[in-house]
Amino acid sequence: MKVKVNDTVLVITGKYKGKQGKVLATFPKAGEIRVEGVNVQSKHEKARRANQTSRIVKEEGPIDVSNVEVVCEKCGKATRVGHAVIDGKKVRVCKKCGAVLDKAYVKKSKAKAEEEKTEAPKKRTRKRSAKKADAEAATTVESTPAATDEE
Ligand SMILES: [Zn+2]
């Protein structure tokens, strides 16, 4: 499905044309999604227990996924979704500016960069056995600049 939960979408056709909102749920089999503030329906809920009150619940009804386009965070335009493969992972990209639309991917790539930064000093376990080999230590420091802060 081109649309995922938490995407911002713009309704481009149909009864709710022009409305924009966050995707609350997707139903790939039915080809439908629920969008925040779009197709809000009132559900009458009757009290079933003594401490409950009857009330009207507003809930977004499903709309057809083909009626919406994903709004790109980077360029702010409603766009068709393209696909690209980055690091062996298939990601969704904006057809207009090429930005990656998958928030999970953007987050993950940031987390991965952090991980690589912190992982480098782990190699220090080798240092214990290499006490006398100062020359060797010098070369390992060269390859892992982050390890220079340890004595
Ligand atoms: Zn874009």
Q: What is the number of structural domains in the chain?
A: 1
- Pinpoint the alpha helices (H) of the chain: 103-119, 134-143
pLDDT digits (tens, 9 = 90+) for 86-120: 889 899 999 999 999 987 776 777 888 888 877 66
User: Whole domain around residue 4: which residue ranges?
Assistant: 1-42+58-80
Is 15 a domain residue?
yes
Q: pTM here? A: 0.68
d(CA 70, CA 10): 6
In the chain, what percentage of residues exceed pLDDT 90? 58
* Residues in the chain where the model's pLDDT stays below 70: 106, 119-151
Is 6 a domain residue?
yes
Is 116 a domain residue?
no
Ligand 1 center from residue 151 Cα (angstroms)? 48
- Whole-number Cα distances in Å, 17 to 35, 69, 71: 12, 11, 14
Ligand 1 center from residue 36 Cα (angstroms)? 21
Burial (0-12, 13-18, 19+ Cβ within 10 Å), 145: exposed
Is 14 a domain residue?
yes
Ion ligand 1 nearby residues (CB, 5 A): 72, 74-75, 94, 96-97, 99
Check residue 11 and give its pLDDT: 97
Is 38 a domain residue?
yes
Is 48 a domain residue?
no
Is 27 a domain residue?
yes
Is 72 a domain residue?
yes
CATH assignment at residue 17: 2.30.30.30
